[in-house]
Structure 1
Amino acid sequence: MSHQTPNTPASSDPPGLSRRTLGVPALVFMTIAASAPLTVVAGGYPSNFAVNGVMGVPLSFIVLGVALTLFTVGYAAMSTKIRNAGAFYAYIAQGLGKRTGVASSFLALTAYNCIQVAVYGLFGFASAAFINAKTGSDIPWWATAGVAFLVVGWLGVNKVDLSVRVVAVMVGLEFLAVIIFDVAAFVVQPEGVSSTGLLPGDLFTAGVGGVLAFSIASFMGFESAAIYSEETKNPTRSIARATYISVAVIAAFYAFSAWAMMTATGPSQIVEASREMGPELMFAFIGQNVGTIMADIAQVLFLTSLFAALLAFHNAVARYIFSLARESVLPQRLAYVDGHTHAPVAGSLTQSAIALIAIVIFAVAGTGSELGPLFPVLTLFTWLSNTAALGLVFLMVLVSLSVWGYFRTNHHGHSLWTRLIAPLLSALALGLVCVLIFVNFDALIGSTGSSPLSWILPAIALLPGAAGLWWGHHLKNKKPAIYDGIGHGGEGDPGDELPSVQQSSDSHVLQTPQV
């Protein structure tokens, strides 16, 4: 199928995603938005301290940052050779085989849908609680989640640069809010400033597995730059730069802010305070030491942080669906792209439908629940976000191995470090984290004892891969033309460098398997 630029004559072929739209700053904003910095600081830190009782939370972000930098070495190298909105799917298909690629696509769709839907639970609870506290009303969580759902759905079918502008403003403001908290923390410092939390002995203790399992979830979304590779101005450079920047910024910012939270509360009090106050710990500190107005503003920015994450993951899922449908791994009608906005409309609407069904199910299930207002946080958000974390870390292990497979026969000028050593070290490190998530799953979902959910939810994360293996085998035997094109849907586009005037007026050809 052909993608026509605005200067080319109309054709009967359907349009593709927009080209040459996003630069490095836009990619960084979208990836960091998915990680939701203010959400991690306000909600993630207290949960980590409270559940594990370990002081080394700040150091955990540095350790994981190193592991994810190793992952990025090979991931970035693959991004210079493969441009596909399916990202993980395409990399694994070309590095480990097409059937494994289809399996990974099912895993990725499940994981990204889980985290996107999960955030609706936290957004609904936090936004309804904030409005009710300020107005004295009794709005249910699903009502405010429904409003967010409508806005995300509308932005998802519009031009991607509109989403980028919305996200950029939200990410900038939430960074500002966290920086204000950090500065105030080091001004107040009730127990002084110490190195507690940054020393190896603070982390590598009995609860290290739980801490790393919690902290890795804070990085979810950092890898999503490659999903926009077909819409990037200079994909050979932009994807790698954006991913490296995102890892560095997230790791450093999270480590420093976790240390600031310990300083603000006092190392001797941080665990107890986290267990008592949870997400209110940060906002209470701001209210007491910066002002009530700033605390209210921070809470509003907490909501916009969640909304930015909703939008970022929605766009990621929509592009995965588009990529798979374009190659007929999913029904081709799901590859529909609007000719004006170049948004993957069918993929966007499909993700919206999944989210709506989940919101309705949990809204009905929570009626009259003994968990009260916390129901969407303790179920929808907690269950699905940890399910997503397990699936995405497992996928990153497969991607690391696929780097070795892809560059094994053709080095493409990359060093042994890039094509083998760093990816294998990444696979080992992330494989360990994956095991830790599985072993600590009861704690991650807040279960005090053995729970059926500790194996049901991991099964939801991983079993779609088995279905994908079967579907890949089916395509190989029954539809070999489709099978041969798996993982190559974004190829045939213009060269990696910016096009000349003559090139920019030519149509971009997308190789689509003939059925």
Structure 2
Amino acid sequence: MDTKTNGALGRRRIGIPALVCMIIAASAPLTVVGGGVTSNYAVTGLLGIPLSFVVLGVVLLVFAVGYTAMSRHIHNAGAFYAYIAQGLGAWAGIGAAWVALIAYNALQIGIYGMFGFVLSSFAAASLGVAIPWWATALAGWVVVGLLGINKVDLSAKVLGIIVALEFLVVIVYDVVAVGAAPEGVTFGSLEPGSLFAAGVGAALVFSIAAFMGFESGAIYNEEVKDPKNTARRATLIAIVIISLFYAFSAWAMAVGEGDSQVVARSVEFGPDLMFVFLEGRVAGWFIVLGNLLFITSVLAALIAFHNVIARYIFAMGREGALPRALAATNRAQAPVAGSLVQSVFALVVLVIFAIAGAGHATGELFPVLTLFTWLTNTGAFGLVLLMLLTSFAVFGFFRRREHTENAWVASIAPLLAGGALLVLFGLIIANFGVLIGLEEAGVLAWLLPAVVIVPGIAASLWGRSLRARRPDVYAGIGAGAPVD
């Protein structure tokens, strides 16, 4: 592989539609509706899951006001890292970078557990071939790795096709569900009382996972066609689409099953509920297509998060927070070093879990109950922490610099978002044991969050020492590429 270390990514390659697709792909629409929404209904027992997406959508839109304003001033492939460095200090940015690396890797590698399980199950049910989950996960790992070292617009095209087909399947399900309406077309799931009751914290925490990955808009700001506007517009569009689409689909599920039955049916069938409902109501080939797209939906999320991690490693290497060799790009102007490092790390974790799962009591569900559940929730924990810190970093950035932004953009919206995200982060901590499937308090409930926070604290302390030892490197942390 021909590489170079000039710190240059491909310029002017991504437009607004492609970037919106890449952001939405990270949330895996079919996986969220088929698996996330049903799990939320089942675990919380609340009817108001559709409203949770609206509430979180509003919070993230307020957050995005200041966040996207920063994208006009700072172009850096490590967005949260760069914004926190510029707003709170380089030492804080270095700590945030390590939190981001661990959180995004946890999310991406955890998703391999779900991918391996669903592809293995599909092969057994449709082809009669027994393939271990780790083997199918490795097949996905190869595809993700190859796309990661190619031009970013190739990944964008692949993700665009997958996302479009996912939306088609979910829309068909929504229409059929609303048409069935055994208890009539009701709106109880959108009433505040159906959400704001005991369990609302867990419901919001489950639903926030559907938005993970929207940072991608700013991460690709060095590669978009219009660095001043593309990332900002794509991020806002993606948040609105994700929020309304998931809210509508969760409402359609409640209508299709009946408000009084949707929780019980979600407990009974879990992620299979959508396809159980569609049996007998649509053609058999459509259900097969839906199952295939469920698999590609998970694959799309793997690709999207892999690209994010590769760019974080690239950004940190370029600025000296990691070895500068990790800023290597190839002829396709892809961050090849970062891509290969992430692939190797993912392979190591997959091997560890494959060995640990041999003969485990949970059987075929092992990768879902451990690798997927543990790591994806750990990743969501870290990313909400980063959003919280970024809100206050935006406030600090504009307070210390001359700018033309109004008070709403520079001060009010970031502080409002910071307060809301602080509450959400507290809810995640309080409900973390529930999220990872613990029936009672255990070591994992504090160990997994510590895996995210402790390296971040250590990196921050190292960053403070860097100011005295290498002031030239310290001064460049978070600077990114020159603003056009």
TM-score strictly above 0.5: yes
Q: Shift of residue 15 of structure 1?
A: 5.6
Cα distance between partner residues in 1 of 2:5 and 2:418 = 41
Which amino acid is the alignment partner of residue 364 of structure 1?
I
1:414 aligns with 2:409: no
Give the structure 1 partner of residue 156 of structure 2: 164
1:441 aligns with 2:432: yes
* Structure 1 segments of 4+ aligned residues over 3 angstroms from their partners: none
Cα distance between partner residues in 2 of 1:213 and 1:140 = 31
SS in 2 for 1:489: coil
Provide, for residues 372-419 of structure 1, a one-character-per-residue CA deviation record: whole Å limited to 9, x for no partner. 100000000000010011100010011100111010033511111111
Which amino acid is the alignment partner of residue 16 of structure 2?
V
Which amino acid is the alignment partner of residue 474 of structure 2?
Y
Give the structure 1 partner of residue 32 of structure 2: 40
Give the structure 1 partner of residue 357 of structure 2: 366
Alignment of 1:73-112 (within 5 A): 73-112=65-104
Cα distance between partner residues in 2 of 1:97 and 1:126 = 43
1:343 aligns with 2:334: yes
Alignment of 1:146-185 (within 5 A): 146-185=138-177
Which amino acid is the alignment partner of residue 229 of structure 1?
N
Cα distance between partner residues in 2 of 1:264 and 1:359 = 38
Give the structure 2 partner of residue 292 of structure 1: 284
1:380 aligns with 2:371: yes
Q: Shift of residue 111 of structure 1?
A: 0.7
1:317 aligns with 2:309: yes
Cα distance between partner residues in 1 of 2:20 and 2:218 = 11
Give the structure 1 partner of residue 293 of structure 2: 301
In structure 1, stretches of 5+ residues that fail to align are 1-11, 496-515
SS in 2 for 1:309: helix
1:466 aligns with 2:457: yes
Which amino acid is the alignment partner of residue 132 of structure 2?
P
Which amino acid is the alignment partner of residue 219 of structure 1?
F
1:194 aligns with 2:186: yes
Q: Shift of residue 87 of structure 1?
A: 0.6
1:208 aligns with 2:200: yes
Q: Shift of residue 291 of structure 1?
A: 2.6
Cα distance between partner residues in 2 of 1:34 and 1:87 = 16
SS in 1 for 2:229: helix
Of the candidates 248, 265, 273, which is equivalent to residue 273 of structure 1?
A: 265
1:115 aligns with 2:125: no
Q: Shift of residue 257 of structure 1?
A: 0.2
1:20 aligns with 2:12: yes
Give the structure 2 partner of residue 503 of structure 1: none
Provide, for residues 288-322 of structure 1, a one-character-per-residue CA deviation record: whole Å limited to 9, x for no partner. 31132211110100011101100000000000000
Of all paired residues, the percent bearing the same amino acid is 54
Give the structure 1 partner of residue 209 of structure 2: 217
Give the structure 1 partner of residue 237 of structure 2: 245
**Contact 1:90 1:101 survives alignment (8 Å):** yes
Instruction: Note the aligned Cα RMSD (angstroms).
Output: 1.2
**Contact 1:287 1:294 survives alignment (8 Å):** no
SS in 2 for 1:364: helix
Alignment of 1:390-409 (within 5 A): 390-409=381-400
Which amino acid is the alignment partner of residue 265 of structure 1?
E
Which amino acid is the alignment partner of residue 395 of structure 1?
L
Greater CA deviation, 343-352 or 403-412?
403-412
Of the candidates 56, 65, 83, which is equivalent to residue 64 of structure 1?
A: 56
Q: Shift of residue 14 of structure 1?
A: 2.9
Cα distance between partner residues in 2 of 1:49 and 1:104 = 33
Q: Shift of residue 328 of structure 1?
A: 1.0
**Contact 1:43 1:279 survives alignment (8 Å):** yes
Give the structure 2 partner of residue 485 of structure 1: 476
Equivalenced residue count is 482
**Contact 2:5 2:328 survives alignment (8 Å):** no
The two structures have a TM-score, normalised by structure 2, of: 0.98
The two structures have a TM-score, normalised by structure 1, of: 0.92
Give the structure 2 partner of residue 498 of structure 1: none
Provide, for residues 214-273 of structure 1, a one-character-per-residue CA deviation record: whole Å limited to 9, x for no partner. 000111011211110100111111111000001000000000000011111111111111
Give the structure 1 partner of residue 21 of structure 2: 29
Greater CA deviation, 469-478 or 385-394?
469-478
Alignment of 1:225-244 (within 5 A): 225-244=217-236
Provide, for residues 133-158 of structure 1, a one-character-per-residue CA deviation record: whole Å limited to 9, x for no partner. 11222111011110010011001001
Which amino acid is the alignment partner of residue 375 of structure 1?
F
Give the structure 1 partner of residue 344 of structure 2: 353
